[in-house]
Amino acid sequence: MKLPSVLLQFVKRSSLLTAGCSAALRRGRGLIVPALMFGCAPPTPAEVVRLGNAQLQIGIEPRLGHLVELVDGATGHNFIQTTNLGALWELELSGGAEPVLHPARARSFASRALTGVAAHELVWSDFDVVAAPRLQVRVHIAFEVDQPMSRWGLAVEGLGGLRLGAIRFPRVINLQAQPAERLAVPVWMGQQAANPRALLSPVQGPPQRWEWHYPGLLSLQCLALTSAGGVSCYLACDDAGDYLKDFAAFATTNADLNLEIRHRPEPAQNPAQRYELPYSVVLGSFRGDWFQAAERYRAWATNQSWAHASRLQNGLAPAWVTNTALWVWNRGASPGVIEPAIALQRALGLPVSVFWHWWHGCAYDTGFPEYLPPREGEAAFRAALQTAHAHDVRAIVYMNQRLWGMTTASWTNENAARFAVKAADGQIHPEVYNTFSKLPCASMCMGTEFWRHKYASLATAAFRGLGVDGIYMDQACSSLACYDPAHGHSLGSGTYWMRGFQKLAAAIRQQNQVRAGPALAGEGCGENWLPHLDLMLALQVSRERYAGADGWETIPFFHAVYHDYAIFFGNYSSLTAPPYDELWPAEFAPKEPLKLLDRKFATQFRLEQARAFIWGQQPTLANFRTNQLTERAEELAFVLKLARLRAQALPYLLHGQLLPPPEYADAATVIPMSRLSIYAGQQGGVREFEQSEPLLHAATWRARDGAIAVVVVNIGATPMAPRLTLDRQQHHLPATGRIQRTDASGRRQVGAFAGREVVLQPALAAADACILELRAD
pLDDT tens figures, 522-567 = 999 999 999 999 999 999 999 999 999 999 999 999 999 999 999 9
Q: Which residues pair with 526 in a beta bridge?
A: none
Mean pLDDT of 337-348: 98
pLDDT higher than threshold 80 for residue 41: no
**Rounded to an integer, what is the distance from CA 31 to the centroid of its chain?**
43
Distance CA(25)–CA(771), nearest Å, equals 64
pLDDT reported for residue 609: 98
Which parts of 336-474 are beta strand (E)?
352-357, 394-400, 403-405, 441-443, 470-474
Mean pLDDT of 614-631: 98
Helix (H/G/I), strand (E/B), else coil: 304 = coil
Cβ–Cβ under 8 Å, residues 281 and 261: yes
pLDDT in tens, 660-700: 999 999 889 999 999 988 987 666 568 899 999 999 999 99
Cis previous bond, 170, omega within 30: yes
Query: What is the DSSP track for 509-533?
Result: HHT--STT--EEEEES--GGGTTT-
> β-strand 326-331 against 620-622: which pairing, if any?
parallel
344: confidence class by pLDDT, cuts 50, 70, 90? very high
Q: What angle do CA 611, 616, 618 make, to 5 degrees?
A: 90
pLDDT reported for residue 684: 59
pLDDT higher than threshold 80 for residue 597: yes
pLDDT higher than threshold 90 for residue 272: no
pLDDT higher than threshold 60 for residue 24: no
Q: Which residues pair with 725 in a beta bridge?
A: 663, 759
Cis previous bond, 215, omega within 30: yes
Which letter does DSSP use for residue 436 in this model?
Answer: T
118: confidence class by pLDDT, cuts 50, 70, 90? confident
pLDDT reported for residue 115: 73
pLDDT reported for residue 224: 98
Angle at which helices 496-510 and 449-460 pack, to 10 degrees?
30
Mean pLDDT of 457-479: 98
pLDDT reported for residue 17: 34
Cβ–Cβ under 8 Å, residues 473 and 500: no
Distance CA(277)–CA(239), nearest Å, equals 9
Tell me the Ramachandran region of residue 599: left when phi exceeds 0, alpha when psi lies from -120 to 50, beta otherwise.
alpha
pLDDT reported for residue 389: 98
pLDDT higher than threshold 60 for residue 20: no
335-346: string of b/e by CB count within 10 Å (b at 16+)? ebbbbbbbbbbe
Q: Which of 265-279, 398-412, 491-505, 748-762 has the lowest mean pLDDT?
A: 265-279
Which letter does DSSP use for residue 267 in this model?
Answer: G
Distance CA(129)–CA(175), nearest Å, equals 32
pLDDT higher than threshold 50 for residue 9: no
Q: Which residues pair with 91 in a beta bridge?
A: 101, 167
More confident residue, 763 or 160: 763
Amino acid 325 reads: A
pLDDT reported for residue 685: 63
Helix (H/G/I), strand (E/B), else coil: 544 = helix
pLDDT higher than threshold 50 for residue 112: yes
Q: What are phi and psi of 208, to 5 degrees?
A: -105, 160
**% the chain with pLDDT above 70:** 92
pLDDT reported for residue 97: 73
pLDDT in tens, 199-258: 999 999 999 999 999 999 999 999 999 999 899 999 999 999 999 999 999 999 998 999
pLDDT reported for residue 638: 98
Angle at which helices 338-348 and 378-390 pack, to 10 degrees?
10
pLDDT higher than threshold 80 for residue 267: no
Cβ–Cβ under 8 Å, residues 477 and 525: yes
Distance CA(677)–CA(221), nearest Å, equals 30
pLDDT reported for residue 18: 36
Amino acid 672 reads: P
Helix (H/G/I), strand (E/B), else coil: 416 = helix
Q: Give the pTM.
A: 0.93
pLDDT higher than threshold 60 for residue 5: no
102: confidence class by pLDDT, cuts 50, 70, 90? very high
Mean pLDDT of 376-396: 98
Mean pLDDT of 126-148: 94
pLDDT reported for residue 15: 33
Q: Which residues pair with 137 in a beta bridge?
A: 124, 156
The overall average pLDDT reported for the chain is 92
Cβ–Cβ under 8 Å, residues 235 and 296: no
Alpha helices in 284-365 (DSSP H): 290-301, 305-308, 319-323, 338-348
pLDDT higher than threshold 50 for residue 38: no
CA-to-CA separations, 678 to 331, 523, 581, 588, 589, in angstroms, rounded: 11, 18, 9, 11, 10
